[in-house]
A and B are shown apart, each in its own frame.
Chain A
Amino acid sequence: MSGQLGAIIRAVVFILLALAACGVIFEFAGYSAFQMFHSIVDGAFLRRNALEHALRWALPLFITATGVVISFRAGYFNIGAQGQFYVGAICAAFVAEWLRGYPGGVVIPLCFAAGMTGGALWALWPGLLRLRSGADEVITTLMGNFLAGLLLVYVTAGPLKDPSGSGQQASSRPLEAAYRISTSNGVSPTIIGIAILVGLAMWWLVNRTAFGVLSGLGGRNPTMVQWQGASTWKIGLASFLISGALAGLAGTIELMGPNGRLAGGFLPAHGFTAVLIALVAGLSITGAAIAAFFFGGLASAALYLPVMAGLPSAAIDIVNASIALFITARSRLVDTLTKAWRRPWKTS
């Protein structure tokens, strides 16, 4: 399909341009751009176990990003994935704490249900405000992120505080080992299975249901689907809830997998990276899988850089920010560069 090929080429050109800009910044900051990129690639994809490390970050990012894809496609710019991710983790942590001692077979599914519900509810109120009164969801979901961040601080320093904590950083008591779904390396068959399941379900939703076509149409032109008889309520609310639930699911996985406990301010960039992944992917589920792996690699390189190469991990922030900049600016340069691949539509 020429359309898909064009989208992929576009995304790659975006990223290459962003990396070129990064290289300039690195040189100005006094680092060798070549050495920096070499170390990043090495840390992200080439060193021993790099793929496993990339996957550890990529799986939760992918899950959150598919949710972002669903809401963005429907024309709702829910950028509150970070907050929904936190609230999901908090809800799951409460359930795990209350049911401490019950068998894992009971507690784990309930934690997942709680995490997804929490994430969905944290997306519900901006959704209702948007659909009822037109309140801009960009503003409300962004505010929701701060609220959820503060809620996390309160919960880890208050109701769920670990009394034996060192006081360095407030965190909850560690989860019982029976409730963990992976070791701290974050890759396990359960997590991989969940990610694959989510990916398949969302791909089906987008590409093989009436919801997928109608939300895509409505996202591009809500007036048109209204004149066709669509109720903006159903599709809109469903989009908010699904995206929130998936971010909450990712939060639950982080809690019950690699982290094993709630810590104040953990993974502060997760939701925003997921938004970036969705945009780089051109709002396609398949694309999100590829992009999530790429950004997962970058995330693992951020840990590798200072330790193994003696380079600042902020380099990864600069890379992410540049890609975000180029993607959101929808640079005309990219349109020009990729014009050759984009077939103009001729009619006879």
Chain B
Amino acid sequence: MRGNDDAILACRNVAVRYGDVTALDDVSIAFPRGMIHAVVGQNGAGKTTFARVVSGLVRPDQGAVEIGGKLIAGGNVNDARRAGVELVHQSFALPPSFTVAEAMQFGAAGGALYTRAALERRWQAHLDALDVKVSAGARIRTLTVEQQQAVEIARALVTDARLLILDEPTAVLSPEGAKKLFERVRRLKERGVTVLLILHKIREVLAIADTVSVLRGGRLIDGPLPASDIDADALASLIIGPSAKMLAGEDRAALTGAAAPRGAETETGPIAGPPVVSLRGVSTRPDADGPALQAVDFVVQPGEIVGIAGVEGNGQRTLVRAISSLADIAEGSLELAGRDVTNATLSQRRAAGLRVIPFERNVEGLSLTSPLWENWSAGQLLARPLLAAISPSALRRECKSALDAWDVRYAEVGQPAGSLSGGNAQKVILSREMDESGKLIIAAQPTRGLDIGATAFVWDALRKARDGGCGVIFVSSDLDEVFDLADRVVVMLSGRIVAEFRPPFDLTRVGAAMTGARA
């Protein structure tokens, strides 16, 4: 399409299909060298697939990829790597028990025999040259998220990479961490490396990128456009497309990260009276599943959504698990709707009005190989004795009417839960957890991986629950969506609640609290 000899990367008519799903549809694009390029789009737009095709991880069903004018064999990582392409994944792949030097050596060229000291000297020099402030002898698991990412990038630059692809690098970072990452990216550009950033926040695109390209539903909508020529609003329209109408202004901004929503006091406000949940001085026993809670005081009133913000892995998961009886409370007390449930089982807590939308939809929320009606009725069956007689046909009927009421798209209630799309699977969980008798709803990363329509649906459901008098705990690592939805935000850091904010929310101050800096 655009013949460009100066292009570091050119794709011609690239298409990728997974079964019935078209992940990339006839994408032709060329990126000039020496710049910072952003590729943006919603979940499911095909961004990650694009990155994987370019780096040789996925063989396109159609089309060709050229790096620096040289055609690379599709689906061959080594070929792409020899051409100078390196990809840093969204989820890090460094082995936690390795030292930094070992992780760098792993996959790099060099002799099979080495001493630890020699290895550390070699890689310390490389890290210093890239201004990564990490000791080469440190174990990966002791590094912060930012440091791990910096090491991943340094590792990608071990070979003479000419095109560095970062897949959603800011998703795991605090706003401050993202700023530092962008400085690092700019320095790479000065060294002559072309950087392709997969992003989904407009704010970040405009802060860093020289050009921007928009994917939607697997198609290239436009790009590469000079970033200086486009404003946030126009970009948001390109990203969201025709479904933009159904979104209110703040929701639209939150979805695209155009501008951080400030939040607003709800008209009604929280309902006075006994809180739906109250933690007093709660500490949990340390376990392998994230940092323990330390003396957490936390209250949710009926009729409010409390957002839990924080860099991932700072105890949000432990908080949810402690309230759900899946982490042991060592000290302190926990009350649900006025009842002390410190030592109660999850079943008893559910009976007291607790409902949980867990972090991992496909692991904690659903049994993918089991039929929908079994998934849907698990909670209510657990409230009965194990030998209680059940009528599968009655449960199927109840499940059907519940799923229909929640607008789930499915063929029949006997189909396995794994056959649903992410958004529909999440709706099944909503239909199970958001019944009338719930008093406290914990929604943990409920929109992760969902497309625009499903995300807006989940937000609306949580708002309705709040307006109906429920207390809602909303955990998300995406500050835009937290600000948009929450009536109050608390920030977690290393298993503690370190700050609390009320609207209007300020991105800088909340971001600072997330990293422990003083605002």
A184 within 8 A of B: no
Q: Is the CB of A223 within 8 A of B364?
A: yes
Q: Is the CB of B388 within 8 A of A209?
A: yes
A210-B391 Cα distance, complex, nearest whole Å: 9
A28 within 8 A of B: no
Smallest CB-CB separation from B385: which chain A residue?
A: A210
Distance in angstroms from A73 CB to nearest chain B CB is 11
Q: Is the CB of A229 within 8 A of B367?
A: no
Counting chain B CB atoms within 10 Å of each CB, the highest count among A3, A210, A344 belongs to: A210
Segment with Cβ contacts to A, from B149-157, B241-249, B254-262, B373-381 = B373-381
The contact string, 1 if C-beta is below 8 Å from chain A, for chain B 464-501, is 00000000000000000000000000000000000000
Q: Is the CB of B409 within 8 A of A348?
A: yes
**Chain A interface, number of residues (Cβ within 8 angstroms):** 32
Q: Is the CB of A213 within 8 A of B381?
A: yes
**Given A227-B324, A227-B358, A229-B345: A210 in contact with B387 (beta carbons within 8 A):** yes
Q: Is the CB of A217 within 8 A of B367?
A: yes
**Given A217-B367, A217-B378, A345-B419: A210 in contact with B410 (beta carbons within 8 A):** no
B346 within 8 A of A: yes
Q: Which of B356, B375, B386 contacts A217 (CB 8 A)?
A: B375
Q: Which of B326, B346, B347, B390 contacts A210 (CB 8 A)?
A: B390
A210-B380 Cα distance, complex, nearest whole Å: 9
B382 within 8 A of A: yes
B350 within 8 A of A: yes
Q: Is the CB of B368 within 8 A of A208?
A: no
Q: Is the CB of B345 within 8 A of A213?
A: no
Q: Which of B356, B369, B390 contacts A227 (CB 8 A)?
A: B356
A214-B392 Cα distance, complex, nearest whole Å: 12
Counting chain B CB atoms within 10 Å of each CB, the highest count among A226, A347, A348 belongs to: A347
Q: Is the CB of A217 within 8 A of B370?
A: yes
A175-B8 Cα distance, complex, nearest whole Å: 88
Q: Which of A205, A212, A223, A229 contacts B382 (CB 8 A)?
A: A229
**Given A221-B367, A223-B363, A229-B345: A209 in contact with B387 (beta carbons within 8 A):** yes
Q: Is the CB of A347 within 8 A of B420?
A: yes
* Contact residues on B (Cβ < 8 Å of other chain), bracket: 35 or more
Q: Which of A3, A226, A344, A347 contacts B326 (CB 8 A)?
A: A226
Q: Which of B363, B391, B421, B424 contacts A224 (CB 8 A)?
A: B363
Q: Is the CB of B370 within 8 A of A229?
A: no
Distance in angstroms from A133 CB to nearest chain B CB is 15
The contact string, 1 if C-beta is below 8 Å from chain A, for chain B 397-434, is 00000000000011100111001110010000000000
**Given A210-B387, A221-B367, A347-B411: A228 in contact with B378 (beta carbons within 8 A):** yes
Near B by CB (< 8 A), chain A positions 210-246 give 210-214, 216-217, 220-221, 223-231, 234-235, 238
By a CB distance below 8 angstroms, the chain A residues around B415 are 345
B191 within 8 A of A: no
The contact string, 1 if C-beta is below 8 Å from chain B, for chain A 170-209, is 0000000000000000000000000000000000010111
Distance in angstroms from A205 CB to nearest chain B CB is 8
A346 within 8 A of B: yes
By a CB distance below 8 angstroms, the chain A residues around B365 are 224, 227
Q: Is the CB of B384 within 8 A of A210?
A: yes
Smallest CB-CB separation from B354: which chain A residue?
A: A229
Q: Is the CB of A220 within 8 A of B409?
A: no
Counting chain B CB atoms within 10 Å of each CB, the highest count among A1, A214, A238 belongs to: A214
**Further pairs besides A216-B370, A217-B367, A223-B363: 15, Cβ < 8 Å:** A205-B387, A209-B389, A210-B382, A213-B377, A214-B381, A221-B369, A224-B363, A224-B366, A227-B356, A228-B379, A228-B382, A230-B347, A345-B415, A345-B419, A348-B411
Interface residue ranges, B against A (CB under 8 Å): 324-326, 345-347, 349-350, 356, 358, 360, 363-370, 374-375, 377-379, 381-382, 384-392, 409-411, 414-416, 419-421, 424
Sorted nearest first, the 8 A-B pairs with minimum C-beta distance are A345-B419, A221-B367, A229-B346, A229-B347, A210-B381, A211-B386, A228-B378, A345-B415
